[in-house]
Amino acid sequence: MMIRSAYRGGRRLAHVLNRCHRSSSSAAAAASSASAASDKNIICACECPESCPQQCHNLLDTDRQHVIHPYTSMTDPLPTFPIKSAKGIHLKLNDGRKLIDGMSSWWAAVHGYRNPVLDNALKEQIESSMSHVMFGGLTHKPAVQLTTKLLQLANNIQDDSTDYHHFTKAFFSDSGSVSVEVAMKMALQYWFTLEQPSKTKFVSLRNGYHGDTLGAMSICDPVNGMHSMFSGVLAKQLFVSTPTGGMEEDGVQTIIEMKQLLEEHHEEIAAVVMEPIVQGAGGMRFYHPSVLRKVRELCDEYNVLLIFDEIATGFGRTGTMFASWQNESTYQPWYLTEGSSFSIINSEDKKISTNEIVNADILCLGKALTGGYMTLGATLTTDKVAHGISHNGGVFMHGPTFMANPLACSVSLASMGLLTSSPWEERVRNVENALIEHISPLSELDSVREVRVLGAIGVCELKEGLDRDGMARIQRALVEEGVWLRPFGKLLYTMPPFNCDELEDDHIKKIGEAMYKVVSSKPKA
Ligand SMILES: Cc1ncc(COP(=O)(O)O)c(C=O)c1O
């Protein structure tokens, strides 16, 4: 492995079907001229009169007054954009504007929108079987088949074998946050049944994000995870500093702190929880995979379970099927920090060998699990944990109403099939190269601290955080540029639908150009 100032040239993205070459400005122009034209049934602008056939006016009004959106004021919310439909790589607003989606709907829609294979999986499930049944006392094919597929994937089994060497069990829940709650409860019950009830605490990394439910929140970053607001009810957990900068040596301090914590408190610690190599909503930071191996060794040494939260990173986003599979030879982040750039270039063979994978005891999955079609979380675990929990007749105490929803399981199975039968690794590499090429110019801007790329994740970190007005301004400006991104805090980032047949270099170029334009433009007085 070597580290050097480097530019990895952009390779063309896979050739596309159904290209849309209409530029964002021509789309906007078309929208406004069409709305000015008499045929308002075709395209209407959000500012249209109350006679608007699509009722945008009423819709926005009711939305603003009564519908609560995420992370915004309940009385003076950030603006919303009414969306009419989504197809392939594009979102279509009610006013006719077509936006390139750079968010994959919070990183979930990895194949893009209205994929015929996924659409059919849902239709077929509804028409041939059922949309939902309770999972207590009943079981069904979509859940069983999905379990088999996930266990094969998580055990790195490439054929139809069910010779699982590590993960052997799957619990299906409603969402990513709930899959984290389930993982934490598994760890707690494991130690309780093994008569070590004092092991109730969790260790996690600062700047982590694991969800918005109370248990998950307790292991999010104690500062940006809003702990102060909920301090009276959140369980007190333990934190170690996060490795920053992406290099192997950046993880040294994390390991020193982790060792010290485990040495002093292992009798109270149930598990360590981490997002492997990419911390998502807590800061979009990358860290070296050697940290995972060292934490695994410490967990084994001090008799503590290890939980990997792959809700954001699972199913290919970083270039390997799971981010925790990255090793010294696969890990290739690219950084451009205030003028100086580096990239870790690996010349070694990038094969992942199953016996070198760092396995957690419990693995949390969500988001791309259904290709972004339905809400579903999965918590996988091992015979060791399962036998621990059910030792002496213990039962696992969780069971949501919509557990293993058949629609979600069937579309998830189709999504896994779509992923594994496509050249997704090559596509992630192409997106990565295109991101490096097209977002690197942002680093020239005075307001930018760092630009970084790993797999299909491109991040521009600003020096100053955006306030409410700044966020609304940038969001609106991005829409005017024909791109959908969601800025937050100091971050403007993109995680495009990397496995969408339509995605080409030009889309990433437009995302990069739009990011550059909105960051470089001065706010209007
Ligand atoms: C790493 C990670 N864990 C957990 C969650 C929570 O998932 P959900 O929003 O589906 O509850 C998220 C969501 O962004 C996440 O990125």
Instruction: Give residues with Cβ within 8 angstroms of 109, minimum separation 6.
Output: 86, 101, 368, 371, 372, 373, 497
Q: Is the pLDDT of residue 419 over 90?
A: yes
Q: Whose CA is nearest to atom 3 of ligand 1?
A: 210
| 397 neighbors 127 (Cβ within 8 angstroms) | no
CA geometry: angle 246, 326, 216, nearest 5 deg: 75
Among the ranges given (118-122, 346-350, 477-481), the one the predictor scored with the smallest mean pLDDT: 346-350
Check if 71 is active-site.
yes
Report how far ligand 1's centroid is from the alpha carbon of 260 (Å).
Answer: 29
**pLDDT for 174:** 96
Q: Is 161 helix (H, G, I), strand (E, B) or coil?
A: coil
Average pLDDT of the segment spanning 349-364: 89
Indicate if ligand 1 lies below 6 Å from the C-beta of 319. no
DSSP 171-204: EEESSHHHHHHHHHHHHHHHHHHTT-TT--EEEE
Report how far ligand 1's centroid is from the alpha carbon of 181 (Å).
Answer: 11
Band of residue 338 on the pLDDT scale cut at 50, 70, 90? confident
DSSP, res 249: G
Neighbouring C-alpha atoms within 13 Å toward the C-beta of 92: 14
Q: Whose CA is nearest to atom 5 of ligand 1?
A: 211
Q: Whose CA is nearest to atom 2 of ligand 1?
A: 210
Residue type, 281: A
Residue type, 75: T
Among the ranges given (30-39, 51-60, 346-355, 365-374), the one the predictor scored with the smallest mean pLDDT: 30-39
Question: At 480, which helix (H) or strand (E)?
Answer: helix 468-480
Q: Is the pLDDT of residue 498 over 90?
A: yes
Determine how many CB atoms are found less than 10 A away from the CB of residue 300: 10
User: Which one, of 326, 332, 311, lies nearest residue 358 by Cα?
Assistant: 326
| Length of the chain (residues) | 525
Q: Is the pLDDT of residue 15 over 50?
A: no
- φ, ψ at 494 (rounded to 5°): -135, 140
Query: In this structure, are strands 278-279 and 285-286 parallel, antiparallel, or unpaired?
Result: antiparallel
Q: Is 35 helix (H, G, I), strand (E, B) or coil?
A: helix
**Looking at the DSSP assignment, which residues form a beta bridge with residue 438?**
none
DSSP, res 348: S
Report how far ligand 1's centroid is from the alpha carbon of 53 (Å).
Answer: 37
Q: Is the pLDDT of residue 28 over 50?
A: no
Band of residue 50 on the pLDDT scale cut at 50, 70, 90? low
Of these residues, 98, 149, 199, 367, which one is catalytic?
Answer: 367
Indicate if ligand 1 lies below 6 Å from the C-beta of 454. no
Residue type, 239: F
DSSP, res 156: T
Average pLDDT of the segment spanning 18-32: 33
User: Within 203-275, where are the H helices?
Assistant: 214-218, 252-265
d(CA 403, CA 140): 12
Which tokens go with 302? 């001090």
